[in-house]
Amino acid sequence: MEPPTAEAVLQGVFTLYNDPNNVEKEKASKWLEEFQKSIHSWKIADELLRQKHDLNSCTFAAQTMRNKIQNSFHELPEEAHESLRQSLLEHLSHITIETKSVIVTQLSLALADLALLMSSWQKPVATLLQRFSNNVNMMYALIELLTLIPEEVNSRHLRLGANRRKEILLDLEADSTLVGEYLTLCLVNGNESEQLRSKILKCFTSWVQINAFKLPEISDSMIIVYSFQLLSSGTTSPDLHEAATDCLCSLLHCMELNNSRGGLDDKLFGGIMCLEEAYNMSVAQEDLDKSMNLCRLFTVLVESNLTRMVALSDDETPHYSVKSLDLVLNCVGHYDYEVAEITFNMWYRLSEDLYHRNNYQLTSHFTPYVERLVAALYKHSQLDPDHDGLVSGSFNDFRFKVSEIVKDVIFIVSSISCFKQMFIILQSPNVSWESSEAALFIMQNVARNILPEESEVVPKVVEAILNLPENCHIAIRYTSISILGELCDWIDTNPETLQPVLNFLLFALQQKNGLATAAANSLQSICSSCKKHMLGHISGLMEIARCLDGFDIQTESAIGLLKGISIIIGRLPAAQLTPAMQELCSFQVEALSRLTNGDDDGLDGKKSRSDPAFWLDRLASIYRHVSPTVRNNEVNPCAFVIINNWNVLSRALERYKNDSKIMERIVRCIRYAIRCIGKQAMPILEPLVKQIITIYSGHNHSCLLYLGSILVDEFAYEEGCTQGLLNMLQAFIEPTFGVLQMENGLKNHPDMVDDFFRLATRFIQRAPLQFLQSPLVTPIIQCGLLACTLDHREANISVMRFFCSLLRHDRANDLEPMVQSILASHGEALIMNLLYASVFCLHSNMLLDVAEVFIEIKQHSPLQLEEHVKKAVDSLPKKNSGGSVTVTHEQMVQFVSNVVNSQTSRATTQALQDFARLYR
């Protein structure tokens, strides 16, 4: 853009905030956005801050300065860093008590980021304290700065690099005593401003979070004492209460991280244990925010001691920190379930640790606590006595979390013990309906763990469910139906209960208001677990299928019910299987046939029925789950049905080729059809391939590439099929590369990258010789080299697997010379791109797949790998935009050695992650 003037920017800001014309506002917004990206914005933002024209222009200028330092610091030559620093310090020195906080924050962020990036600025914290600590007007701004500097150390925008970050952290650690003294002085001499005291606590917390303080030195800190005073008092303001909680939580995390035990540990533990009365007071005052803060603090106290609590408890005596669980359980009993929810992750961590230790005596120490937890969750799970209908809304979300946590911890108290305890509640005289329903809900979550041989309680529960009175609350009926589904393994071992259970569920299927959906889900579970016994009920299941659209069932549950019926059909003898499957498919195929012929207004008049996806998902479920056992050379009894139905799917492909969502459903259906009958789908192979090639050339649906990979997987071994499939790949290449070579093509079409390289990988796995001999391999490799940097997990995995498959094979066979030729041509570029991607583009959790490629290259030639890695490392920048050293010569040598000498992909991943941190 042309160099703008300060006046033009002022006019743009005025238009953005004051012009009533939305079109003009939008134009101004876009222009200002472009201005902020330009190199001219440095100078003009500085100018606007000096002018102090109005609040909006100063705010915009401060934001611009912060954005430029965060994202475009490389634009400034190193010699301009000092003048920028002086300018920002000058702007900050003019801050008064009247200066708007948004400007203070943006300027402070800009200066904090500059202090971290600018390697020539030695001891920035000491400089700031020396310059501003005696200026009372600067107290707020200085504390803001001191808060932001440690907070910004790990900012992903700055990409400081591990070396610079380590240097900064050492500096901050050295300056922490000065900061602690200054904050204490502010606390002692400051006025009664709650805002100031809150800022002091937040600043102290930010230094604790980066582990800058030596914990023994702050064990007597006045700020910690003050935090406890705030939490003990019933009159503390919400902001101060939260800041004090954050402060103590950060100290606990810090001690856990450092495994630091001693004076501060004892003081924190004792002090927090004494806050039980403060918590009880917050409950009595119905101050939910304070209750939640204290609950969070108690939970973090347990989490920080969890390792010791479990590891140091012996067979006879639990570790003393176990008593902190009483504090947490007190919170779980709070009248608001949101408080209990805060503790859930802690219970999960405890259960994981105990489960992996597998020590009954150790686990028994925690049994009473988990019993109390389950009892409290049972109470929280109760609906209001006047509630009508089923559980819904946020309470339903909470009950889902309760389900998860009960399943996680139940082994500590045993499922049958919990089941019996809840059954006792059910048998209590005059028990309310909401208590009964909550007990059934807890039972539902442990029912699947009940041993099939159990004969004392479960038969009574099943009998009680089957004899529920007609007038019982709908929520009780719903939960009871769900329990029967969870008891599917028990029913399989006790088949005498199957018929009455099926009768009960069939009756429920005919109900409304959610009961039919619950019955469908339970029927699916019983079909999946009781396959042998359900064969005798196939006629009843087929009748259910015929009437499926007459039931008030959610779509997903109807598909699940078809899954259950399909599983049973798959176990029928061939002579019965084919007609049963044909009939089951016919309900879906007939509807699809009418839709593809354009006759879409006679399907029960419901909108969902005229959506082809509705029928395609059902048909896909049948194809996927009718899975007969077929010996070699036997005709698959599903083949006749699937081939007979092909014309309808073919018409659907043609009719809906403009709709990517429906195309995905059709492809999914075809995929399961081909997987079901394998090579016996040969009659539809050629017409299918021709059709998807034609459609893809005009519509580029990536799901067609995925379908191509399924065809290669099933048919590439078959004589006479390989060349036709290679022709399919060739036909796919031009339209695919046309899309991916557009600006941001790879980034904007990750699904296409994923599916295309999945297809190429299938070829390498199924027909490697023919693939490597084809002229297609070079352009595909070149596309893969570009796609290495794509930061999309699934797409990047497919690209890395393509390269691994290309390199991974028996090195004694005829393919070795071809692979060596590929490495000679593309090996250097591959390593260069992989390292660049690892350092600048990919998340660290994606580097395992990159490491696999390094390992495969090493298998062919360690010397070649070493040579290429050295070149790739040498091509990376050695300094960052702030002038600090990103990577030393010793670190480069060490990295090359680590990669070349790594024996496992895990070790190579670690080497890549450590090296990438030098640039992040």
The full DSSP string for 410-453 is: GGGT-HHHHHHHHHHHHHSTT--HHHHHHHHHHHHHHGGGS-TT
pLDDT over 70 (residue 204): yes
Residue 647, Cβ density class (10 Å: 0-12 exposed, 13-18 middle, ≥19 buried): middle
At 879 the three-state DSSP class reads strand
* Residue keyed to tokens 């580029």: 700
Distance CA 913, CA 553 (A): 49
Smallest Cα–Cα separation from 853: which of 799, 891, 894, 896? 799
Mean of pLDDT over the chain: 93
Amino acid at 546: R
Residue 743 CA to its chain's centroid (Å): 29
379 close to 321: Cβ distance less than 8 angstroms: no
pLDDT (average), residues 659-678:
97
pLDDT digits (tens, 9 = 90+) for 368-401: 999 999 999 999 999 999 999 999 999 999 999 9
Distance CA 860, CA 815 (A): 12
For residue 441, what pLDDT is reported?
97
Q: Which residues pair with 879 in a beta bridge?
A: 885
Residue 549: exposure state from Cβ atoms within 10 A (0-12, 13-18, ≥19): middle
What the block records as the tokens of 783 is: 């596309």
- What confidence category does residue 156 fall into, taking pLDDT thresholds of 50, 70 and 90? confident
Single-letter residue type at 92: L
Residue 776 near residue 729 (C-beta atoms within 8 A): yes
Note whether 468 and 480 are within 8 A (CB): yes
CA distances to 510, 517, 597, 608 from 605, in Å: 20, 21, 17, 9
CA nearest 635: which of 587, 680, 592? 680
Report the pLDDT averaged over residues 781-800. Answer: 97
* Tokens at 104, concatenated: 């203070």
What's the CA dihedral at 814, 816, 820, 823 to 10 degrees? Answer: 120
Q: Is the pLDDT at 604 greater than 60, yes or no? A: no
Residue 574 CA: distances (Å) to CA of 494, 570, 628, 777: 28, 9, 8, 44
Helix axes of 263-273 and 288-311: crossing angle, nearest 10 degrees: 130
Please state the separation of Cα 241 from the chain's center in Å: 31
120: nearest Cα among 155, 172, 167, 170: 167
Give the model's pLDDT for residue 96: 79
Q: What is the pLDDT of residues 436-468, one digit of tens each?
A: 999 999 999 999 999 999 999 999 999 999 999
Contacts of 562-565 with CB under 8 Å at 24 or more apart are 562/618, 562/621, 562/622, 562/625, 563/524, 563/527, 563/528, 563/621, 563/624, 563/625, 564/523, 564/524, 564/525, 564/526, 564/527, 564/528, 565/527, 565/541
Q: Is the pLDDT of residue 603 over 60?
A: no
Q: What percent of the chain has a predicted confidence (pLDDT) above 90?
A: 85
Residue 601: band (very low, low, confident or very high) from pLDDT cuts 50, 70, 90: low
Task: Specify the pLDDT at position 632.
Answer: 85
User: pLDDT tens for residues 795-840?
Assistant: 999 999 999 999 986 555 678 888 899 999 999 999 999 999 999 9
The token duo for 913 is 């992650």
Buried b (16+ CB within 10 A) or exposed e, 416-455: bebbbbbbebbeeeeeeebbbbbbbbbbbbbbbbbeeebe
- Residue by residue, DSSP assigns 547-575 as TGGGS---HHHHHHHHHHHHHHHTTS-HH
Contact 839, 878 (CB under 8 A): no
Q: Is pLDDT above 60 for 273?
A: yes
Q: Are 260 and 280 in contact (CB under 8 A)?
A: no
Rounded CA gap, 301 and 294, in Å?
Answer: 10
Mean pLDDT of 73-97: 89
Structure tokens at 660: 């990517």
Among candidate residues 746, 756, 745, 770, the one with its CA nearest the CA of residue 704: 756
Structure tokens at 180: 């602690």
Mean pLDDT, range 164-168, rounded to an integer: 94
Mean per-residue pLDDT for 201-222? 95
Query: Which residues pair with residue 885 across a beta bridge?
Result: 879
Please list, in sequence order, all residues whose beta carbon lies within 8 angstroms of the beta carbon of residue 711, skipping any fewer than 6 positions away. Answer: 674, 685, 688, 689, 725, 728
**Whole-prediction pTM value?**
0.90
Q: Could you report the per-residue pLDDT of 229-258, keeping only the tens digit for each? A: 999 999 999 999 999 999 999 999 999 888
pLDDT (average), residues 31-59: 90
**Distance (Å) of CA 416 to CA 314, 372, 443:** 27, 16, 9
Which pLDDT score, from 0 to 100, does residue 186 have?
94
Measured CA to CA, the distance from residue 509 to residue 484 in angstroms comes to 14
pLDDT given for residue 263 in this prediction? 81
Vertex 113: Cα angle to 3 and 880 (nearest 5): 80
| 344-357 confidence digits (pLDDT tens) | 999 999 999 999 99
**Residue that the structure tokens 């105990």 belong to:** 354
Query: Which residue's entry shows tokens 């763990």?
Result: 449
Gyration radius of the chain over CA positions: 34
For residues 127-151, average pLDDT: 93
Helices (H) and strands (E) in the chain, counts: 48, 0
831, two tokens: 């390593």
Task: For residue range 643-654, list pLDDT tens digits in order.
Answer: 999 999 999 999
Per-residue pLDDT at 410: 96
Angle between helices 276-284 and 222-232 (to 10 degrees): 40
Query: Tens of pLDDT along 556-590?
Result: 999 999 999 999 999 999 999 999 999 999 999 99
pLDDT digit string (tens) for 719-752? 889 999 999 999 999 999 999 999 999 999 999 9
Judged against a pLDDT cut of 70, whether residue 717 lies above it is answered with yes
Kindly tell me if the per-residue pLDDT of 600 is higher than 80.
no
SS3 state of residue 228: helix
